[in-house]
Chain A
């Protein structure tokens, strides 16, 4: 269909009125340019916001105990209770959809008092008792040494993994950190690892002020018995944690002798739900991007259709001559269609390239000025480009369809009579 002669025919025809060809092409160029740019900006916004979640296992909930709000089985309302380690095991045993169930305990907190000392230096830090799998739920970059292990849990070793800010407060520059001891609430812990938060933004500072110790060590050293402060629960990737949540809650109420309807007794934060809300928002934004872009593109396509109609009208006589010389209606129709297609695709490709250029410049600027709040790496995938190209091809054909039909509607004898 597209041999060299066809190309010559098309290029000659488009060349015959260059300025008009250019103006027509500009409509489509502009449409696809806006479409790609809008999608890239949406993507940039999405990347920026999602970076705040870091590599966090988003299919997770956090669950803690609050006071009961209903009396149950002779127990009064307003009773405070704790989860127990046995609850963790019960969850793991009975709900196979769960990937990780990490019990956690905490010491210190926001603006807590000084609780850690090393030689003559002191500081106030968050101290967490954790299980090794917690690093899979909230990823940390281990800078030196290692994270907690199951042998630490079993042996109740007094070891600690400390954040960058802890090092800054308690150590001199260049001092060896691994193998040194720090005193948490008067108890010595051996430092076996240091970490940096993998998160880009947000609660960086708080995270860097954190010390992780083995859960069992924590319980024994700080008198928590088998109590669990809160749990971080992650479901397997193919199961939504939100759908498993009711079963977890029911089970916990039963085990902790809480009224089955007492919603207030167990507090939780559903990260998956929050994440889904934001993802949903961006899906809507993407749809809006497509919609607006497609509408701008549509006006460009109508422009092409319009010009092709004029071209066909102007060339009525030429078309008549061609038919007298033996051009079949299909010859004529396909030429008009191909002219419109070539015009659309070429201008569309230029639009896509141009938009890519702008995106590249944006990225270069972003790289040079450092991270910007809620905006990162605006880009479009190859999938979007393929979609854009197919929209172009379809619209090119649509734009040519009416003019092409118009071109062959007139009888050759009438077409030849036009002056």
Chain B
């Protein structure tokens, strides 16, 4: 699904050059659920941005579903993002003046899907994350966990190949975090490939594979026993 070879990325600020990614080799197969861990400055966010086509690598190759991702202009990149990827952000990034339903149908809007079809699909995904009753509410009327679930529904709306989650539980308390992870695990169970950037050990262990990044290189890459995120009654 994802094949990355010898990926390099540097940032230039004035005369200083910061080598963030120093030769990453990485592969992910369909249906995997991978945690990308690392301390801040390890390059995990940059890595995720490149995977998400929000940023471009300096060197190396990147194939997504056998499509080479190289020298894309913004128009094509936007289309690929819409087609291949679903984003889940730490701070949810819902559009504040749009209802939950409209937020979810947004990727479909950019796909040019008809309004009635769009609403139907968006409603389906809202039901899936258990928020059908909240469809007409604005993000400001939702709790943090609910917001993230709307964001997950939005990421799923365009039926992407890969979900990219950047610290999806970073802004949530433990109980809500586990609820959200339970949902993400459920989506993975249905066969969707998911990458989760996190620095929390317990969250990482809810994935099937953990990749450690340090100083722009992969430190280790191991398969783990997945811990099911059953909402703990005692928390």
Name the interface residues of A324-340: CB closer than 8 Å to any CB of B.
324-331
Is B52 among interface residues, defined by CB-CB distance under 8 A?
yes
Shortest C-beta distance, B139 to chain A (Å), equals: 12
Q: Which residues of B contact A323 (CB under 8 A)?
A: 74, 78, 81
Within 8 A of A (CB), among B70-92: 74-75, 78-79, 81-83, 87, 89, 91
Q: Are A416 and B89 in contact (CB under 8 A)?
A: yes
- Residues of B close to A327: CB separation below 8 A: 78, 110
Q: In the complex, what distance in Å separates the CA atom of A321 from the CA atom of B78? A: 11
- Distance from A318 Cβ to chain B, minimum over Cβ atoms (Å): 6
Known: A12-B97, A325-B110. A4 touches B115 (CB 8 A): yes
B54 touches A324 (CB 8 A): yes
A317 located at the interface, meaning its Cβ lies under 8 Å from any Cβ of chain B in the complex: yes
Contact of B74 among A13, A15, A16, A329 (CB under 8 A): A329
Contact indicator B97/A326 (Cβ below 8 Å): no
- SS class of chain A's interface: helix, strand, loop or mixed? helix
| B8 within 8 Å of A (CB atoms) | no
Chain B neighbourhood of A5, CB < 8 A: 109, 115
Give the CA-CA distance A15 to B97 in the complex, in Å.
9
CA distance in complex: A416, B154 (Å): 17
Chain B residues closer than 8 Å to A324, beta-carbon distance: 52, 54, 81, 87, 93
Do the beta carbons of B54 and A416 come within 8 Å of each other?
Answer: yes
Give bound CA distance, A416 to B54, whole Å.
Answer: 9
- Asked if A326 contacts B78 (CB within 8 A), the reply is yes
A residues less than 8 Å from B93 (CB atoms): 317, 321, 324, 416
- Give Cα A324 to B103, complex, Å: 13
CA distance A4 to B115 in the complex (A): 9
Contact between A328 and B79, CB atoms less than 8 A apart: yes
Contacts of B111 in A (CB 8 A): 326
With both beta carbons as reference points, the residue of chain B lying nearest to A315 in the complex is identified as B95
Residues of A contacting B49 with CB < 8 Å?
Answer: 413
Contacts of B115 in A (CB 8 A): 4-5
Closest A residue to B93 using CB positions: A321
For residue B79, which residues in chain A have a CB less than 8 angstroms away from its CB?
326, 328
Bin chain A's interface residue count. 20 to 34
Pick from B55, B91, B96, B154: contact of A325, CB below 8 A: B154
- Residues on the B chain within 8 Å of A12, using CB: 97-98
Residue B177 at the A interface, CB < 8 A? Answer: no
A325 touches B87 (CB 8 A): yes
**A408 at the A/B interface (Cβ < 8 Å)?**
yes
Verify B78–A411 contact, CB threshold 8 A.
no
Q: How far is the CB of A363 from chain B (nearest CB, A)?
A: 44
Bound-state Cα–Cα, A13 to B102, Å:
13
A322 at the interface (CB under 8 A from B): yes
* Complex interface residues of chain A between 64 and 90 (CB less than 8 A to chain B): none
Decide: A413 and B55 in contact? CB cutoff 8 A.
yes
Contact with B along A375-419 (1 / 0, CB 8 A): 000000000000000000000000000000000100111001001
B198 at the interface (CB under 8 A from A): no
Which residue in chain B gives the minimum CB-CB distance to A9?
Answer: B109
Q: Are A328 and B74 in contact (CB under 8 A)?
A: yes
B158 at the interface (CB under 8 A from A): yes
**Contact between B82 and A325, CB atoms less than 8 A apart:** yes
> A322 vs B98: C-alpha distance in the bound complex, in angstroms?
12
Interface residues of B in 89-119 (CB under 8 A from A): 89, 91, 93, 95-98, 106-107, 109-111, 115
Interface positions of B from 47 to 82, Cβ below 8 Å from A = 49, 52, 54-55, 74-75, 78-79, 81-82
- Provide the residues of chain B in CB contact with A329, threshold 8 Å: 74-75, 78
Taking a contact as CB atoms under 8 Å apart, the answer to whether B74 and A408 are in contact is yes
Please determine whether B97 and A328 come into contact, CB atoms closer than 8 angstroms. Answer: no
Q: Give the residues in chain B near A16, CB-CB below 8 Å.
A: 96-97
Identity of the chain B residue whose Cβ is nearest the Cβ of A12 in the assembled complex? B97
A377–B181 alpha-carbon span in the complex (Å): 75
Complex Cα gap A42–B79 (Å): 55
Task: State which residues 173-228 of B face A: CB under 8 Å.
Answer: none
A25–B97 Cα distance when bound, in Å, is: 21
Q: How far is the CB of A175 from chain B (nearest CB, A)?
A: 82
A325 to B104, CA, bound (A): 10
Q: With A and B bound together, what is the CA distance between A28 and B169 in angstroms?
A: 46
Name the interface residues of A1-28: CB closer than 8 Å to any CB of B.
Answer: 4-5, 12-13, 15-16
Residue pairs across A and B with Cβ atoms less than 8 A apart, 22 shown, are: A5-B109, A13-B97, A15-B97, A318-B96, A321-B95, A323-B81, A324-B87, A325-B87, A325-B110, A325-B154, A325-B158, A326-B79, A326-B111, A327-B78, A329-B78, A408-B74, A413-B54, A413-B55, A416-B54, A416-B89, A416-B93, A419-B91
Closest CB pairs A-B (n = 10): A326-B82, A413-B54, A326-B110, A328-B78, A16-B97, A413-B55, A321-B93, A325-B107, A412-B54, A328-B75
On A, residues with C-beta under 8 Å from B are 4-5, 12-13, 15-16, 317-318, 321-331, 408, 411-413, 416, 419
Q: Using A12-B97, A416-B54 as known contacts, list a sample of 19 further A-B pairs with CB atoms less than 8 Å apart, ordered by residue number in A.
A: A5-B109, A13-B97, A16-B96, A321-B93, A322-B106, A323-B81, A324-B93, A325-B82, A326-B79, A326-B82, A326-B111, A327-B78, A328-B79, A329-B75, A329-B78, A411-B55, A412-B54, A413-B55, A416-B89
